[in-house]
Copies of this chain bind each other. A is one copy, B any other.
Amino acid sequence: MTLKEIAQEAGVSISTVSRVINQSNSGAASKEVQDRIWEIVRRTNYTPNSSAQNLKSGKTSSGQASSHSIACLFARKPDAITDPFFSQLARSIEKEAFKQNYILKYSFTAIDIQHPSTFHLITNNQVDGVAILGRCNKQLLSFLKKHFNYVIYTGLNSLNAKYDQVLCEGHLASEHAIEYLIGLGHTRIAYVGETQNEERYIGYCSTLRKHKIPIRNDFVSNVMLCSEGGYRGTKALLARTREITAVFAPNDLTAIGVMRAIQEEGLRIPEDISVISIDDIDMAQYLSPMLTTVHVPLDEMGKMAAKTLIDRIQGGHHLPMKISVPFYLAVRESCGSPRKMDL
């Protein structure tokens, strides 16, 4: 079904049909004609050909055509989508976007965004804006800068002030967690997770420093942020030293592996070693012991991200906004005071 066919059947011109369907008031049609057109539209299940729409309205040189759609880019690592932190974020972004009549058009994960075919799709003004989930490197950033007017960083602090951001301030979240441990009496706190470009690690360091607690190299295991990483890192850590009384993992996924490794070594959580992390993914409260973790309001973040991005697209604001979400410590079972003999 095309406008032409509808026009023929309704006995009017194509322009009239177009205007009626798009409700552009400029050249209104009579109630009669409108009804006739809508009847045909509904009966034939007509849907506009978006290629034609885009082609027509996508002015190459000046304005962008609005496709009422946005994209999600999992920038951090290839399988970010399998990290609940990001997939939950994507889900809530989509939900909110949908509410506002935008759709989540692409959500790329394991692919190289700069591959020619992707490049095509992305650059043919097919999406109005992009939400970057996770940090992205310089190269990717400059690529995006070139091709998108509307970009928002979601999830992690990007250290880039040019675009909107909805983020969880990693160093603050870490501080929250570490302060809690210190409050319980811990001083020998290990770190298991990525250390490079990881502000959650920076928060770990700065908070210890603040309390004049030296950062010991043998207390730090640099591993990838996943259960396996947590497991391996902790195994190595415990092979190195048994002095620690607590482990801080930068995310829950890692903490799961950390806990496993500790328990496998015959140690108890929290009696022998406390475990704390950040994120509070759905399953955190169903682990044994229930994970004490800094709750990051993922759904709220996603919602805010979508709102902000769409507002920006619609010209609602022009200066880069930086929205930090609040978090709180979900105190559960995996942390306790260190035993006397440890102190």
Contact = CB atoms under 8 A, between A and B. Distances in A.
A91 B117 CA distance: 18
Interface stretch (A203-211, A224-232, A237-245): A224-232
A274 to B, nearest CB: 15
Contacts of A101: 117
Contacts of A15: none
The SS class assigned to the A binding surface is helix
A282 B228 contact: yes
A95 interface: yes
A229 to B, nearest CB: 10
Interface string A91-108: 100110010010111111
A252 to B, nearest CB: 10
Contacts of A120: 47-48, 50
Contact of A283 (B68, B109, B256, B263): B256
Given A228-B282, A228-B286, A286-B256, A106 B106 contact: yes
A108 B123 CA distance: 21
A21 interface: no
A106 B108 contact: no
Contacts of A227: 282-283, 285-286
A105 B105 contact: yes
A263 B52 CA distance: 60
Interface of A: 2, 47-52, 54-55, 58, 60, 68-69, 78-79, 81-82, 84, 87-88, 90-91, 94-95, 98, 101, 103-112, 115-121, 123-124, 126, 226-228, 230-231, 253, 256-257, 259-260, 263, 282-283, 285-288, 290
26 contacts: A2-B60, A48-B120, A49-B55, A49-B60, A49-B124, A51-B51, A51-B58, A82-B91, A94-B109, A94-B110, A95-B110, A98-B110, A103-B108, A104-B109, A105-B106, A107-B107, A227-B283, A230-B286, A256-B283, A256-B286, A257-B283, A259-B286, A259-B288, A260-B290, A263-B288, A287-B288
